Amino acid sequence: MYRLVFLTGTRADYGKLKSIMQLCEKDSSFEIYVYVTGMHLCSEYGQTADEIKKDGYNNIIINEDYKQTEKMDENTALTMLAFSKFVREIKPDLIVVHGDRTEPLAGAAVGVLNNIKVAHIEGGEVTGTADEFMRHAVTKLSSYHFVANDEAKFRVLQLGEKEENVFVIGSPDIDIMLSDSLPKLIDVKEKYSVNFDKYSVCIYHPVTTDNDTAKKAENLAEALKKSEKNYVIIKSNNDFNNEIIIEKFDRLRGNKNFVFYDSLPFEEFLTLLKNAEFIIGNSSAGVREACVYGVPAIDLGTRQNKRYNTQIMRNIIHTDENTDEILTAISKANEHRFFSRYFGNGNSATLFCAAIKNRLAKEESVQKVFVDLEVTSKSIENYINEVCY
C-alpha cells in the first residue's frame, strides 16, 4: 500500500484534485491523507475546509498552526514549517500538489528536502502573473508530471524532465464536470438566494506583478454596473492587492443586479457556471471550465496570458480592463457559445491512478538528471502547431 499526501490550499486546487483523491481513497493500493491549509482556513474566504470535511475522507489533517498574513512569502514559509513536521511524522511515499500557488511550492520543496517524491498536477502552462514562476519551480521540484494536454507536456520537456515521467491526463476537474452528480440549478439558486432568471458569473483576481489594480478593478465594476445585467460575484483569492479589488466591488453591494459570495462548493459553482450567460474576469475557470460547457468567457487583462488559443477555444473573448471595451465584449458574448474538449475527456483520475502505481513500483530515486531537448525554435513552433493544435 502506497501512502499519498494531497496538499490543498484553495477552493480552486481542491476542485482540481478532488476526483483523483476520491478515486485513490477507494483504491486498496493507496492510503491517502488530505492536508488542508491556506485559504481553506480563512473565514473571510468561506472557511472551505468545512466543505472538505463533508466529503468524508478517512484522513483529513487541518494545519492548525497556519495564520494568514498579508505577505505571500511569509505564508509560504509558515506552510513549509507545518507541512514539514507532518510529513516527517507519517513518511509518505508521495506528495501530490496542484498548480502554481504558494502552497504547492511549499509542499514540493518539503518533499524534495525530505527525499520524498512529488507529483505535480497541471504543470507546463503559462500565465501572466507570479504564478508563472512558481509553477515552473514546482515542476523542477517534482518527480512526476500530470499535465492537461500535449502543449503542456512539451513545455515540461523543455524544462529538462524525462518524458517517461510526464503523463497527459487532462484537467481532473472535468471528471466532476461531466459526471451526473452535480446539483440541480433550482436547488443551488434557492440555497444561495440567486433570484435571477438570467445571470453571469464574475471572478476577478489580483495580478501580483501589476501596479494598476485599483483602476482596473474600478473599470470592471463600472462596466458591470453599466451593462445592467445580473451577476453572481465570487470573491477574489488572497493574493497580494486582493483588498483593493474587494473594496471596489463592495461599492456594488445593494444594487439589485448583484449577489456576492466569499466562496462556493465546487459542484455548486459548476452548476451556476454551466447555466450562466457568460463568465467574466480573469479566473482560470473562464479558460478551463467554461469551454467544457460551451459558456462564453470574457477574459480580462494579463493574468491568463498565453494560456489559451482562441482558434481552439472559441468561447473566449479577450480584452483589457477598459470600461468601454468590456461593455463591447459583453454585448458580443452570446456569439461565443462554443464547446471544447482540449483539456480532457473526464477520465483524469483513472489515468493518474494507473500511472502513479506504475511509477512508484519502480522505486526510483528522487534525484533527477536534466534532460536536454535537442530542438530548434522552429521545431518547437512546428510541434505546437502540428501536435498540440
For every residue of 319-354, DSSP letters joined together read E-S-HHHHHHHHHHGGGG-----TT--S-HHHHHHH
pLDDT of res. 38? 87
Burial of 132 per CB tally in 10 Å (0-12, 13-18, 19+):
middle
139 lies in the same domain as 264: no
310 lies in the same domain as 378: no
259 lies in the same domain as 201: yes
Output the tens digit of pLDDT for each of the chain's 389 residues. Answer: 999 999 999 888 998 999 999 999 999 999 999 999 988 888 777 788 999 999 999 999 998 877 777 788 888 999 999 999 999 999 999 999 999 889 999 999 999 999 999 999 999 988 867 778 899 999 999 999 999 999 899 999 999 999 999 999 999 999 999 998 899 999 999 999 999 999 999 999 988 777 889 999 999 999 999 999 999 999 988 777 889 999 999 999 999 999 999 989 899 999 999 999 999 999 989 988 999 999 999 999 988 887 787 778 899 999 999 999 999 999 999 999 999 888 888 999 999 999 999 999 988 888 998 998 776 555 666 666 666 55
pLDDT of res. 207? 87
Tell me the residue range of the domain where 37 lies: 2-177+345-388
115 lies in the same domain as 253: no
Q: What percent of the chain has pLDDT over 90?
A: 69
Mean pLDDT of the chain, nearest integer: 91
Q: What percent of the chain has pLDDT over 70?
A: 95
pLDDT of res. 122? 95
* Cα(48)–Cα(269) distance, integer angstroms: 13
129 lies in the same domain as 49: yes
- 52-108 pLDDT, tens digit each: 999 999 999 998 877 777 788 888 999 999 999 999 999 999 999 999 889 999 999
Domain count, the chain: 2
